[in-house]
Structure formats: C-alpha cells, structure tokens
Amino acid sequence: MNFYRRFVPGAARLHRPLTEALKGSPRPKAPVEWTAEMRTAFQAAKDALRSATGLAFPRPQAELALMVDASAEHVGAALQQRASPAAPWEPLGFFSKKLDPAQVRYSAYDRELLACVQGIRHFRFMLEGRRFTLYTDHKPLTFALSKAAEPWTPRQCRHLSYVAEFTSDIRHIAGQDNVVADTLSRPPQVTAAVAAVAATPQTLDYAAIAEAQRDCPSIQAAGDSSLTLQLIPFGTVRVLCDTKGSHPRPVIPMGHRRQVFDAFHGMAHPGAKATRRLMNQRVVWACMSKDVTEWVKDCQACSRAKVTSQPAAAVQPIPVPQQRFSHIHVDIVGPLPVSKEGFRYLFTIIDRSSRMLEAVPLTNVETETCRDALISQWVARFGVPARLTSDQGAQFTSALWARTCEVIGAHHNTTTAYHPQSNGMVERAHRRLKEPSRPAWPPPTGPSTCPGSSWTSTTPRGRTAASRQRRWSTAPPSPCLPSWRPAASSRWTRSCRSSPPPPRYPPGMASERRPPSHPRL
C-alpha cells in the first residue's frame, strides 16, 4: 500500500489503526493483537486500492491548484489541474500523513500551515517553476504573507518562508467545497467488520482431495511415517490431516500436489524458501520441500519477472597475431623507491608474439611522458603496432592517448575493469622484472630513497630474464630477429613524408644534436 498511497485518497486515515500498532523505534517484537478495528482498517485499505481514483496526465499549460487541509491528527493535500476555467478539476495526486505527537499539539493555525508546507514539499517536483494557487479552508492563512505583523514563532517564519518560495497566491475555500483534502485529513469512521486474509487458499477442492486420498498409494505409505494422521472435517467433507502441529495440515495426494502449489505460489510468487515456509504450515506430503524447490525454479512467471543472478558472459578469445610486433601490451609499474637518478616508475611494453619486453624508467606517469616513451623506445625501433592493449588507467583513457593511437594508426583495446587477467602477459612479466631489482630497494622501515645504489641498473637483467623465460605455448624468443622489417601505418607514413626535410648541418656537428625527422605529436 505504501507504493500506491498517491493514488488512494485518505491513505493515512485508513492505515491509522495499523500504524498505531507498529509505531515506535525499534518496532515491538511482541506479537500484535489483531483487533476488530485493525481488521476493519485492513479491509478498507484493500477496498480503497481496488477502487483507486484514476489520475490525469499532467499538462504543461493547465492551471494548477493545491488543496490542503488539516485535522487533529492528519494532514492532507490534493494536486489538481484544469484546462480552462469552465473545465472540471482533474486529480494529479494525493498526499496524506499522520502527525507525530509533537505536531498534534500544534494550534489550528500551525497545523493548517504545516499542511501547506508538507503538501508543497510532497509535490515539489510538479510545482517548482510553475504558477499555482494554494487553497485552504483556514482563512487566516490567506493574510499570512501580506500582514505587517511578525509571525509569533520561529517555526511560523520558516514555514511561511518556504511557502513564499513557491507561491504567494493563497485563497480561501469553504470546507464543504474542499472535499478531497478534507477527506484525506479525517480519522477513520468505517465500522464494517471484515475477516482477515484466509490462512489457506480458497481455490482448493477439499472434496476432490478427500476422494483422491482413498486410492493414493502415497497416503497409504504416510501411515508408516512420523505423521499423526486423523480425519478432520473441512466444510462438508472429512480430510485426512497431520495433527502433530498447532493446527491440522491436510495430506495432499499425488494428483493434487501441483494444483496446491500453484494456489500458494500464485498469490505473490515468492521464492523457494518463502514458498516452502508458507506451505509447511498448512499442507504436507512426502518430499514436499524437494518438489516445491523444483517447481519454483520451473515457474515461468518468476523467470520472466525476477533477476536472481546475472549469467556470466562468455570469455572472448584474444586473436593470435600474424606477425611479430603487431600486438603489444603496455602497463605501468610503481611507485617504486626513488632511485638516485630520480626515477620512480617503469613503463613496460611487451610484444604478444615474441614476448620481447621493454622497461623504460620514468620520473612521472603523466600521459605525455608515457606517450614519448612509447614513441621513442618502441615505435622508433620496432614500428607501429596494429593493436595496443592496456588497462583503464587515467593515462590510457585520456584524450591525448586516444589521439596518439589515432595518429599512428594503432587500435587501442582496454581491459575490463577490475579484471587484470585480460592484460596478464605484461602483469606476469612484472614479477620476473622485479626479482633482480628488489634487493636494491631500501628496507620497508627505511627512507624512501636509496642513494647508495640504484635499481635502474638491475632493470636490464630483469628485462632479459622475463624475455628469455621459456613458455609452453610458444618457443623461447630469439635474441635476434632475422628477416624482419619495422611496420608503419599508412597514416603515420604519410605524415612523415609530408614533413619538411631535415636541414643540412656542417660535417663537424654531432649527429645526436640533429632534430628528429618525425613530426611531434
């Protein structure tokens, strides 16, 4: 009912006996005494839900009006619209709320003002930014925003300030004309007595069950079990039941078990555990828990409406590269202890085909630094890779890295979040890479730098060990690469060809001072 409160006028009024029984924090653990007043309120709530008022579709150009009212224990509001002054009002939503003990002691003026505030707060998503009229049957409120005298209490100042943020058009309406809001704020006056929900579904045919019990072999075998069987009258027939518990449980024959399960499970389609608990209290048969579990799993309505577990996606295979240096994996190691050269990170690159590993020491891991290391230490020596795989680090998901891959013509793939196995080739190489360098690191309790030694001097040995490690999937990589030519993308080649030729230098100038011939990214 809490979800459908907006469609039911007077929901707080109807639920008052039920909410009174459950009030308090924490809620009482003692059993609630089911009184006649609570039964009446429960039946009235069901009838109100069955005959809920249909709400109109909001129109942006329609005139809005918020009707509010307050009683001694409740406040209520109704949001309405009409297309023209001659058109009837159409309901857009209802609101009602029970007052707490402190609010019950408010004066009539404060309770009516509280109804205005809570009504606006409830329908704020439809009232904010639009002109509307606030109708109340408490006439002193119509002068609250225009009178010169100051409000009596700080609470009135806060409430009037909140109302003034949305509208200043407060009008009086007679109580006999404010029917909807008045009904939402009135205590219950229903006196009809009704019964609670039946403990056993009324769709069971006990006469057919009693007839089938006579010839069912499972009923005859139940006499040798731990059940205490006895004939119990159900209406005009006598049904064989188990009387061991607090109330008799009919023993269901084989031909009626699925029908009984559908009657219980079809009320709300609970899960297997809840269905077993519900049926164990009312019916019984041999291996009932097993049958109920299987039938709940086979329920088509539950399968379409409930999502109990997400199926795991199939593992996508990584294509095997056709040539060396066409598919590389990149990653970053660190932060490491600061070396005497000032390096703190390693930018690692490994070829998927030849398992050749490169480790470039870096002082920082900014995108520009990683890009320059890739271009100068890999692309300039081995050519442009067709595919490049990395994790979802900030360096590899930046716009600069994407633009770099686009310019050189490499297709960039990122691994799944929190799934480093997709980049496992370079992740596993990090372990062999760190083995020779770890003895040069300072102790955990020592300083962050180690001026006496440098782990960068041992990085080539770790890189060689990782590259020369034999694997069962491929042959050991050869130190030389015969009959291999660096690859370059057509776009990269065109950009290099379109760049101006390098200037001529005198014969005595050092060659390492010449600028690079490739364009700067």
Q: How many CB atoms lie within 10 A of CB 247?
A: 12
Q: What is the mean pLDDT of each run of 10 residues along the chain (521 residues)?
A: 64 78 70 81 76 75 89 87 84 86 88 90 88 88 81 85 88 79 62 40 73 82 78 83 83 86 84 87 86 87 71 74 86 82 86 84 88 88 87 87 88 82 78 68 52 55 51 46 54 55 49 43 38
Domains with residue ranges and CATH for the chain: 5-184 (3.30.420.10), 206-304 (1.10.340.70), 327-479+487-497 (3.30.420.10)
- pTM for the complete prediction? 0.36
Task: Give the CA angle between residues 176, 179, 180 to the nearest 5°.
Answer: 165
Report the C-alpha gap between 499 and 506 in whole angstroms: 22
Report the C-alpha gap between 466 and 114 in whole angstroms: 74
Report the C-alpha gap between 39 and 80 in whole angstroms: 32
pLDDT on residue 484 = 53
Report the C-alpha gap between 46 and 1 in whole angstroms: 9
The residues that bridge with 412 in the sheet, in sequence order, are: 388
pLDDT on residue 192 = 41
pLDDT on residue 521 = 38
Q: Which residue has the tokens 């593992």?
A: 315
pLDDT on residue 515 = 44
Cβ neighbors of 153 (< 8 A, separation 6 or more) are 110
